[in-house]
Amino acid sequence: MSQFWSPAIQSLVPYTPGEQPKVDGLIKLNTNENPYPPAPAVEAVLREFDTERLRLYPDPDCHALKQALADEAGLSRDQVFVGNGSDEVLALTFMALLRHEQPLLLPETTYSFYNVYIDLFNIDARHIPLTDDYRIDLDAYSSENGGIIFANPNAPTGVGLTLEQISDLLIRNTHSVVVVDEAYVDFGAESASQLVDRYPNLLVTQTFSKSRSLAGMRVGYAYGHPKLIEALERVKNSFNSYPLDMLAQQTAIAALQDRGYFQHCVQQVMDTREWTCEQLTSLGFEVLPSQTNFVFTSHSEVAAAELMQYLRDNRILVRHFTKPGIDNHLRITIGTPDEMTRLIECLKQHPSL
Ligand code: PMP
């Protein structure tokens, strides 16, 4: 019956179901989730929630959450958009802001979902290779374009750009929207949200899924000029005017307000990342400098595909990409110190390491 499908649907492949196996007892270092639970304030919201209220619709405008996010970034509420995870925010961004005559510019190696939207919405795109040391080469983003999108820090490399580099790009590129996907920004990079007031064509997306440990609640958001936000609201309202359910709105606010816990968890992940990098390096791995909650690594003597399978056989999941150019790398999420110790111990048992 697939003859009834729209042409763009034929080539669509689901993104991560295979990365979410329904098996207990695995060490799961494959989808960049936070190893720590959400903030105690989130637990309190859930414990004290009055279920009677569920018969009502949630606030369609997410007023309180938008205000909390605006306060967090020193912006106003009309510069904030929220959606079901940053994946939805990005999908709406592609629909509302990145479909133009000129090609969209993006790195050849970046978050793979962008290409799904490019195909789905039939967007003309130019993919620009990373430099030899896996950096986004912003000097190469100078041709006429209908928009620019990249992740900062980039995924799956973990390598970040500085705010100066992003400002330089914005100064050179004033005629199209520049989208900076900051899913991992809290783990050691600087947010471009502080540039939003200066550049009306900048949209910054962020998420509660990583540094706030709320992947299960699906809350993402964007900061940008009110006109960019209005475009997203228009598209959103054509699909579903209730972007977030009641619990998602309330738990997200609680997670934002629990600053001490947030900073503690982020610091813990960064410390564990440093330890993991040292250990991997001493086993002969090359590890890219990471500003995220994962590391991107390769070994000259053992193929990444083999290592991924070896770890999987030992109940440790890491991510291997088959895309040429990065197919000899593994992306390893930073877990708890105990999980990372078990990963390193397991690698030490590998006959070739
Ligand atoms: N951007 C990047 C670069 C990501 O890696 C992810 C997570 N897979 C997302 C966006 C989407 O995250 P979420 O929808 O959970 O907010």
Three-class SS of the chain: CHHHCCHHHHCCCCCCHHHCCCCCCCEEECCCCCCCCCCHHHHHHHHHCCHHHHHCCCCCCCHHHHHHHHHHHCCCHHHEEEECHHHHHHHHHHHHHCCCCCCEEEECCCCCHHHHHHHHCCCCEEEECCCCCCCCCHHHCCCCCCEEEEECCCCCCCCCCCHHHHHHHHHHCCCCCEEEECCCHHHCCCCHHHHCCCCCCEEEEEECCCCCCCHHHCCEEEEECHHHHHHHHHHHHHHCCCCCCHHHHHHHHHHHHCHHHHHHHHHHHHHHHHHHHHHHHHCCEEECCCCCCEEEEEECCCCHHHHHHHHHHCCEEEEECCCCCCCCCEEEECCCHHHHHHHHHHHHCCCCC
pLDDT reported for residue 13: 67
Q: Is 247 exposed, middle or buried, given 0-12, 13-18 or 19+ CB atoms closer than 10 A?
A: middle
Q: Is 297 exposed, middle or buried, given 0-12, 13-18 or 19+ CB atoms closer than 10 A?
A: buried
Whole-number mean pLDDT of the chain?
95
* pTM score, whole prediction: 0.96
Q: Does ligand 1 lie within 6 Å of residue 86's CB atom?
A: yes
CA distance 92 to 158: 25
% of the chain exceeding 70 in pLDDT: 98
Name the pLDDT band for 48 (thresholds 50, 70, 90): very high
pLDDT reported for residue 12: 74
Q: Helix 246-257 crosses helix 63-73 at what angle (to 10 degrees)? A: 30
Take atom 6 of ligand 1 and give the residue whose Cα is closest.
183
19 has pLDDT over 80: no
**In terms of CATH architecture, what is 40-258?**
3-Layer(aba) Sandwich (3.40)
Q: How many A from CA of 285 to the centre of ligand 1?
A: 26
- Mean pLDDT for the stretch of residues 84-92: 97
Q: Which of 14-18, 198-202, 256-260 shows the lowest per-residue confidence on average (mean pLDDT)?
A: 14-18
- In ligand 1, which atom is closest to the CA atom of 209? 15
Higher pLDDT, 197 or 240: 197
Q: What CATH code is assigned to 2-37+260-348? A: 3.90.1150.10
Name the pLDDT band for 165 (thresholds 50, 70, 90): very high
Name the pLDDT band for 243 (thresholds 50, 70, 90): confident
Name the pLDDT band for 71 (thresholds 50, 70, 90): very high
Closest CA to 336 of 5, 27, 70: 27
Domains 2-37+260-348 and 40-258 share a fold: no
> What residues does each domain of the chain span?
2-37+260-348, 40-258
Planar angle of CA 246, 196, 173, nearest 5 degrees: 130
pLDDT reported for residue 314: 97
Residues 145/37, Cβ–Cβ less than 8 Å: no
- pLDDT tens, residue by residue, 169-214: 999 999 999 999 999 999 999 999 999 999 999 999 999 999 999 9
pLDDT reported for residue 272: 98
18 has pLDDT over 70: no
- pLDDT tens, residue by residue, 300-329: 999 999 999 999 999 999 999 999 999 999
Q: How many A from CA of 29 to the centre of ligand 1?
A: 15
pLDDT reported for residue 25: 83
Tally of CB atoms within 10 A around 230: 13
Tokens 């992940």 belong to residue: 269
Locate 133 and state its tokens.
């040391």
16 has pLDDT over 70: no
- pLDDT tens, residue by residue, 122-153: 999 999 999 999 999 999 999 999 999 999 99
Name the pLDDT band for 14 (thresholds 50, 70, 90): low
- Mean pLDDT for the stretch of residues 22-34: 90
- pLDDT tens, residue by residue, 89-117: 999 999 999 999 999 999 999 999 999 99
Q: How many A from CA of 349 to the centre of ligand 1?
A: 33
Take atom 8 of ligand 1 and give the residue whose Cα is closest.
31
Q: Does ligand 1 lie within 6 Å of residue 157's CB atom?
A: no
- Mean pLDDT for the stretch of residues 334-340: 98
- Mean pLDDT for the stretch of residues 34-44: 97
Q: Does ligand 1 lie within 6 Å of residue 33's CB atom?
A: no
Q: Does ligand 1 lie within 6 Å of residue 333's CB atom?
A: no
